[in-house]
Structure 1
Amino acid sequence: MKYIEKLRNSGLRPTKQRLQICEVLFNTERTFHFTINELEQKIKDKIDNKISLATIYNTVHAFEKKGYLKQIPVNSNQTYFDTNITDHHHFYNLKDGKLIDLENSDVGPINIKRKIDGKKIKSIEVLVKLED
Structure 2
Amino acid sequence: MLVLVGYGLWANTHLRGLWFVGLGLFCNALVIFANRGHMPVSSEALYRVGLESYIPKLQQQYDAVHTLMDGSTQLWFLADIIPVRVLGYTNVISLGDVYLMVGIALTIVGGALESKRKAQEPINIDLRF
TM bin, normalised by shorter chain, reads under 0.3
Tell me the TM-score normalized by structure 1. 0.24
The answer to which structure has the higher strand fraction is 1
TM-score relative to the length of structure 2: 0.24
| Structure with max Cα Rg | 2
Structure with the largest fraction of helix? 2
